[in-house]
């Protein structure tokens, strides 16, 4: 079996919030990129989407930054829908997905390809000048958080680069509004055109030159 085949099978089994079909769609769109790019995901959790992206990056000679503060989103906290007791750090009682993320990337043998960035998304973005060939937004779903991610990272996508957004649900009965709203905003900006759609994953391409530097 090929390395890519093994990595995808591994990713399918990693704990996380990326349905198999969507993870594989993310991989397929990413591996169609040009060689040697710099990619970034917002929302790493335990490394599931990072392995799908990492599998593609390995083939393309790209690097993936996998950004998270590793304390979970609002919807991951105790009492909420996506709480996972196994991820609580006894030291301070907070969620801490970093040890699991590190183990995932090590087990996948992607430590040279998937690089962790640990901290709040907007703080990192404010000090991150590197233009990006692919940005995957899969962070917090609260209104202010999702919009902040969009404003922070979408401008860094180069012309021809991809902006992928997860958890886009046009039907309000299926999921929260903010990821759908930022997806609409990206399309309305006329900077981006939709190129792929699988489940709640939308992949857009920047068809205009970057409006600003990061
Ligand atoms: N892509 C993951 C799922 C991400 S879940 C997978 O494949 O399973 C969303 C993640 O966003 C959580 O891990 C949470 O800690 C992170 N997050 C939420 N708000 C954030 C912020 N402001 N800065 C950095 N990370 C954030
Ligand atoms: Mg998601």
Residue 211 is assigned to a structural domain of this protein: no
- The answer to whether 143 is a known catalytic residue is no
Residue 124 is assigned to a structural domain of this protein: yes
- Of 127, 141, 151, 197, which residue is the catalytic one? 141
Residue 212 is assigned to a structural domain of this protein: no
Place of tokens 């399309």: 187
Q: Number of folded domains in the chain?
A: 1
What pLDDT sits at residue 158?
Answer: 97
Q: How remote is the CA of residue 143 from the centroid of ligand 1, in Å?
A: 14
How far, rounded to the nearest angstrom, does the alpha carbon of residue 55 sit from its chain's CA centroid? 14
What pLDDT sits at residue 212?
Answer: 47
**45 close to ligand 1 (CB < 6 Angstrom):** yes
Each residue's pLDDT tens digit in the chain (214 positions)? 799 999 999 999 999 999 999 999 999 999 999 999 999 999 999 999 999 999 999 999 999 999 999 999 988 888 888 888 899 999 999 999 999 999 999 999 999 999 999 999 999 999 999 999 999 999 999 999 999 999 999 999 999 999 999 999 999 999 999 999 999 999 999 899 999 999 999 999 999 875 544 4
Residue 213 is assigned to a structural domain of this protein: no
The closest ligand to the CA of 23 turns out to be 1
Integer angstrom CA distances of residue 191 from 51, 107, 194, 197, 210: 28, 38, 10, 18, 8
What pLDDT sits at residue 210?
Answer: 58
Return d(Cα 65, Cα 85) in angstroms, integer. 27
What pLDDT sits at residue 90?
Answer: 93
| Residue (of 149, 96, 98) closest to 126 by Cα position | 149
Write the CATH number for 153.
Answer: 3.40.50.150
Where is 11: in which H helix or E strand? helix 3-13
Integer angstrom CA distances of residue 58 from 7, 106, 117, 125: 10, 14, 18, 24
| Cβ contact 166:19 at 8 Å | no
Return d(Cα 43, Cα 60) in angstroms, integer. 22
**131 close to ligand 1 (CB < 6 Angstrom):** no
3-state secondary structure at position 88: strand
The closest ligand to the CA of 179 turns out to be 2
| Structure tokens belonging to residue 169 | 């649900």
What is the extent of the structural domain holding 54? 3-206
pTM for this prediction: 0.96
Per-residue DSSP letter, 209: -
Q: How remote is the CA of residue 112 from the centroid of ligand 2, in Å?
A: 24
| Cβ contact 153:185 at 8 Å | no
Residue 67 is assigned to a structural domain of this protein: yes
Return d(Cα 79, Cα 98) in angstroms, integer. 21
Beta bridge partners of 206: 192
**68 close to ligand 1 (CB < 6 Angstrom):** yes
C-alpha dihedral, 100 to 169 to 150 to 132, nearest 10°: 70
Q: How remote is the CA of residue 166 from the centroid of ligand 2, in Å?
A: 5
What pLDDT sits at residue 213?
Answer: 44
| Cβ contact 206:159 at 8 Å | yes
């Amino acid at each position: 079996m090929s390395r890519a085949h093994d990595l995808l099978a591994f990713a399918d089994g990693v704990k996380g919030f990326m349905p198999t079909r969507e993870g594989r769609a993310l991989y397929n769109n990413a591996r169609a990129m040009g060689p040697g790019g710099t990619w970034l995901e917002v929302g790493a959790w335990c490394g599931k989407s990072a392995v799908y992206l990492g599998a593609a990056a390995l083939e393309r000679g790209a690097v993936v930054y996998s950004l998270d503060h590793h304390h979970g989103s609002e919807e991951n906290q105790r009492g909420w829908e996506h709480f996972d007791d196994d991820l609580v750090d006894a030291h301070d009682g907070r969620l801490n997905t970093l040890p699991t993320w590190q183990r995932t990337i090590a087990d996948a043998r992607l430590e040279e390809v998937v690089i962790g960035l640990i901290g709040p998304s907007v703080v990192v973005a404010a000090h991150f000048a590197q233009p990006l060939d692919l940005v995957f937004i899969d962070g917090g779903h609260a209104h202010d958080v999702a919009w902040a991610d969009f404003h922070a990272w979408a401008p860094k996508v180069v012309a021809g680069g991809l902006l992928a957004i997860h958890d886009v649900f046009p039907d309000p009965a299926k999921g929260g509004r903010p990821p759908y709203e930022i997806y609409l905003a990206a399309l309305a900006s006329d900077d981006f055109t939709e190129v792929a759609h699988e489940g709640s994953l939308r992949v857009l391409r920047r068809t205009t030159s970057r409006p600003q530097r990061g």
